[in-house]
């Protein structure tokens, strides 16, 4: 397998790297160490720059006006874009635009006009509401939010937990149980996806959920006799689970790439510090135990990079990439956590402080082993494929 970058990919990587170093990192010197937003003027200025570079909306498919980059190139960009303090959850503070919720690519033309295109233009925000108090690892069985049809409308009742951005979103993608005829697939066939405008009566953001992540908090929402027009069903009634699942699979590659970027930056910092700091009359870099930590970091980084690029190349070839994406997510989230942990150890007391971004990455990376499907679920996905569909 050849992971050599093409000339074009190298140029893109170099450009993004320079942008992060010259435009994003200097702004962070004046922001709170936990900040997740730029001053609106700075944000607008950087967006103008990414537009000028032709990278704004880099994740958007070509048919919807994106630059038409392949998954591998986008993964390489994502690895670069996270290499700053807020980079894990807000890579470059969103100044490269977003592709929105990928499920909307399957929407009707009318739904695209109302939700997808304004999102791609940066005019509307969506949130993804799948997880419930009853569980998120196995949503097919856990979903208890109920929807029943009443004339031209659906009436939804229930609750969702840990939903990021629901309080600021213009619309939410809500998954509700609309039939109990799950049969052999135990509930997966009875779930429908709805696009819900967040100002709909009965859509209530009940509380902020405090987590290790200090910005981009999660929320709990409830649906109380919430009426949704039938034209806001996304895809087919009772077939919403496939839509949710498809998104989660695709999302795993950039999710993993963001973690890897942070790990690379932490390793750079650890190497620089180890060469500079002296203990017991020698530089840290001369101590074998420190060298081994740096080597273990390198092994973790290269392992994660291999898995991410392998998954991305499989996606670019239109091969199946479920196992590859699950492995990339699992390896990158766990390896990056270890890398940042070792980098903190090498930095000693300084590594624990808000003077460096390491403690923030440490907290945020811990969430990554649960978010978008916990490590155990990634192993489950891989086990199913390794053992084959016939194994029961």
Partner 1 sequence: MGGLAIAKPWVPLTAAAAAALPAQLGVYEIADADGTVVRIGYAGGRQPFGLRSALAAEVEAGLGTQFRHEATHGYLTRWEELLMLHRAAHGSLPTGNADRRTPVGRLRPLT
Q: Catalytic residues, which ones?
A: 372
The 10 Å Cβ neighbour count of residue 211 is 17
* Residue of 211, 245, 323, 345 interacting with ligand FAD (CB under 6 A): 211
Q: Which pair of structure tokens corresponds to residue 136?
A: 């998120």
- Among 293, 289, 328, residue whose Cα is nearest residue 308: 328
- Could you say which of 18, 141, 354, 379 contacts partner 1 (CB under 8 A)? 354
Does 374 contact ligand FAD by CB under 6 A? Answer: yes
User: Which CB sits closer to ligand FAD, 310 or 372?
Assistant: 372
Give whichever of 64 and 217 is closer to partner 1, judged by the CB atom: 217
CB of 222: closest distance to partner 1 in angstroms?
8
Residue 122 CB, nearest distance to ligand FAD (Å)? Answer: 19
| Residue choice 207, 317, 320, 379 for contact with partner 1 (CB under 8 A) | 207
**Phi, psi (rounded to 5 degrees) for 276:** -100, -40
Residue 162 in contact with ligand FAD, rule: CB under 6 A? yes
Q: Decide: is 210 part of the binding site for partner 1 (CB under 8 A).
A: yes
**354, interface contact from partner 1, ligand FAD, none, CB < 5-8 Å by kind:** partner 1
Q: Is 40 in the site for partner 1 (CB under 8 A)?
A: yes
Does position 376 interact with ligand FAD (CB under 6 A)? The reply is yes
Nearest CB to partner 1, comparing residues 168 and 275? 168
CA–CA distance, 87 with 75 (Å, rounded to integer)? 14
Distance CA 373, CA 11 (A): 33
Q: Judged by CB under 8 A, which stretch of 34-42, 97-105, 233-241, 272-280 contacts partner 1?
A: 34-42
Sketch the per residue contact string, 129 through 168, with partner 1: x for CB under 8 A, - otherwise. Answer: --------------------------------------xx
**CB-nearer residue toward partner 1: 43 or 283:** 43
Q: Among the candidate windows 42-50, 230-238, 256-264, 365-373, which touches ligand FAD by CB under 6 A?
A: 365-373
| Range in contact with partner 1 (rule: CB under 8 A) among 156-164, 208-216, 323-331, 376-384 | 208-216
* Residue 173 binding ligand FAD, by CB under 6 A: no
Map the footprint of partner 1 across residues 67-126, applying CB under 8 A.
none
Residues 127-146 that bind ligand FAD (CB under 6 A): 128-131, 135-137
CA separation (Å) from 318 to 71, 100, 314, 366? 11, 22, 6, 31
Residue 319 C-beta: closest distance to ligand FAD, Å: 25
Distance between CA atoms of residues 327 and 253, nearest Å:
10
Site residues (CB under 6 A) for ligand FAD? 128-131, 135-137, 162-164, 211, 213, 218, 367, 370-374, 376-377, 380
């Amino acid at each position: 397998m050849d992971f050599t970058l093409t000339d074009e990919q190298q140029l893109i990587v170099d450009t993004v790297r320079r942008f992060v170093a010259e435009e994003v990192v200097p702004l962070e010197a004046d922001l709170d160490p936990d900040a997740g937003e730029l001053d609106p003027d700075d944000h607008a200025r950087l967006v103008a720059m990414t537009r000028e570079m032709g990278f704004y909306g880099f994740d958007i498919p070509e048919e919807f006006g994106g630059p038409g980059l392949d998954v591998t190139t986008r993964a390489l960009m994502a690895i670069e874009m996270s290499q700053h303090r807020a980079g894990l959850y807000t890579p470059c503070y969103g100044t490269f635009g977003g592709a929105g919720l990928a499920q909307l690519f399957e929407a009707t033309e009318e739904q695209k006009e109302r939700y997808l295109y304004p999102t791609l233009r940066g005019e509307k925000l969506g949130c993804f509401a799948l997880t419930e108090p009853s569980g998120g690892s196995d949503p097919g069985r856990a979903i208890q939010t109920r929807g029943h049809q009443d004339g031209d409308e659906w009436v939804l009742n229930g609750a969702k937990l840990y939903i990021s951005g629901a309080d600021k979103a213009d619309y939410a993608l809500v998954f509700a149980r609309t039939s109990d005829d799950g049969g052999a697939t135990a509930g997966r066939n009875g779930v429908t996806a709805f696009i819900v405008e967040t100002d709909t009566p009965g859509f209530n953001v009940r509380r902020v959920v405090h987590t290790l992540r200090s910005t981009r908090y999660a929320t709990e929402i409830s649906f109380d006799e919430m009426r949704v027009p039938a034209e806001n069903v996304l895809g087919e009634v009772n077939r919403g689970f496939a839509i949710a699942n498809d998104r989660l699979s695709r999302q795993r590659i950039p999710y993993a790439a963001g973690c890897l970027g942070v790990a690379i930056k932490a390793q750079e910092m650890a190497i620089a510090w180890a060469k500079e700091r002296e203990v017991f009359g020698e530089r840290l870099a001369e101590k074998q135990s420190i060298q081994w930590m740096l080597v273990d970091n390198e092994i973790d980084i290269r392992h994660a990079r291999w898995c991410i690029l392998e998954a991305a190349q499989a996606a670019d070839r239109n091969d199946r990439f479920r196992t590859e994406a699950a492995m990339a997510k699992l390896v990158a989230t766990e390896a990056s956590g270890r890398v940042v942990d070792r980098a903190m150890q090498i930095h000693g007391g300084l590594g624990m402080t808000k003077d460096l971004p390491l403690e923030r990455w440490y907290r945020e990376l811990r969430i990554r082993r649960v978010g978008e499907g916990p490590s155990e679920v990634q192993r489950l996905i891989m086990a199913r494929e390794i053992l084959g569909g016939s194994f029961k």
